[in-house]
Amino acid sequence: MSSALSSATRLRRLSMAVILCTTTALSACGMGDVRRPMADVGDSDTSVASQSLASEESNGVAEENQLRASAEPGEFAAQEPEILSASDVAQAPDQQPDTIVVPEAPQVAEPKRYSLPESEPASDDAESYGYSGGIRDPIARGETRLAMSGSETACRTQLKQLGVVFQERDPINDGGVCRIDHPLTVSGFSSGRIRLKPSATLNCQMTLAFARWVKGDLSPSTRLRYLSGINTIHQASSYSCRTMSSQRGRSMSEHSKGNALDISRITLNNGKAIQVQKPGWFAFRQRGLLNTVRSDACDYFTTVLGPGYDRFHGTHFHFDLMQRRNGRRACR
């Protein structure tokens, strides 16, 4: 009887040991904690699932921190995201998620170097009156319009207003007083309706005085006496490096400065040619015109010489702007 009881006791102990071993094995394999599904089942309580997920995430963060602490200092620094430009991304479309794309800066065009435009040469077209000629090198040449004084610039403005046909010329310097710093080639007046032949080389102030004389005195006088306007004014001398009357030993003429002009003939629109010379006994209109022009010209010029003064001025009028110390004018 006692042996039967001991056998039953041992069998029960063996069964309990097998159950304990089985339970321990199942627990070690993860079968003891069965996760509930996260499906929405209405008003059921999901707090158990949320706590399970939270605990799992915290365990993952802890493991990651342990790995970072145990890693060497330069291990994670080498895994920094790579920075690529937009062109590199276009060439490599299969880019990793941790790649940072930096857009390329816009290309700015290099500014063009500025250079002074080269002016066209002066035109011989008389219709372009009142405009200066071309300037080839406005920086290297001191005689250009950029170097003109205020009076020279103002003078040219007045010539344009009067309709004088002129062009700029290169500076003239023939030595001594034979020079014009800013010479003009004058070919007409009244916007080209009155021509000057041949073209005269003068300074600006002499050109301005002559243009005023033509407009204010000569043109009205010819209309009054001949009922016709002026077609052409014929000049005998403008700039010329010489002495007075081309006589040796005399002072230099105002012609050597471009400050004088000689007129020998005037042609009217009706074809009448008026010679500047001592008229005959019965040339009443010619005598009256020449006398009037000669006397009134002293309002425009400082020197007026003509037929009857001497043998050197018997065939032309001489006009100039000579500056005398006492301000005297010579009208003879």
With H, G, I as helix, E, B as strand and everything else as coil, classify residue 164. coil
b/e 311-322 (16+ beta carbons within 10 angstroms → b): eebebbbbbbbb
User: Per the domain annotation, does 13 fall within a domain?
Assistant: no
User: Per the domain annotation, does 103 fall within a domain?
Assistant: no
User: Per the domain annotation, does 327 fall within a domain?
Assistant: yes
Predicted TM-score (pTM) of this structure: 0.58
Task: State the residue range of the domain holding 211.
Answer: 145-331
Please report, rounded to a whole number, the percentage of residues in the chain having pLDDT higher than 90. Answer: 42
User: Per the domain annotation, does 207 fall within a domain?
Assistant: yes
Tokens (6 digits) for 165? 């046909």
- State pLDDT tens for residues 128-167: 444 444 444 444 444 444 478 889 999 999 999 999 999 9
Q: Residue 328: what pLDDT?
A: 85
Q: Is the sign of the CA dihedral 320, 326, 327, 331 positive or negative?
A: negative
How confident is the model over 111-128, as a mean pLDDT?
A: 45
Strand positions, DSSP E, 176-308: 179-180, 184-189, 194-202, 230-237, 260-268, 273-275, 303-305
Cα–Cα distance list, 110 to 107, 113, 192, 259 (Å) = 9, 9, 49, 53
User: Per the domain annotation, does 27 fall within a domain?
Assistant: no
b/e 6-16 (16+ beta carbons within 10 angstroms → b): eeeeeeeeeee
User: Per the domain annotation, does 271 fall within a domain?
Assistant: yes
Contacts of 213 (CB under 8 A, 6+ apart): 297, 300, 301, 319
User: Per the domain annotation, does 232 fall within a domain?
Assistant: yes
Instruction: Count how many domains the chain has.
Output: 1
Query: SS3 helix, strand, coil % of the chain, rounded to 5?
Result: 40, 20, 45
With H, G, I as helix, E, B as strand and everything else as coil, classify residue 81. coil
Tokens (6 digits) for 104? 């390329």
Residue 298 has pLDDT above 80, yes or no: yes
User: Per the domain annotation, does 189 fall within a domain?
Assistant: yes
How far is 266 from 201, CA to CA, in rounded Å? 19
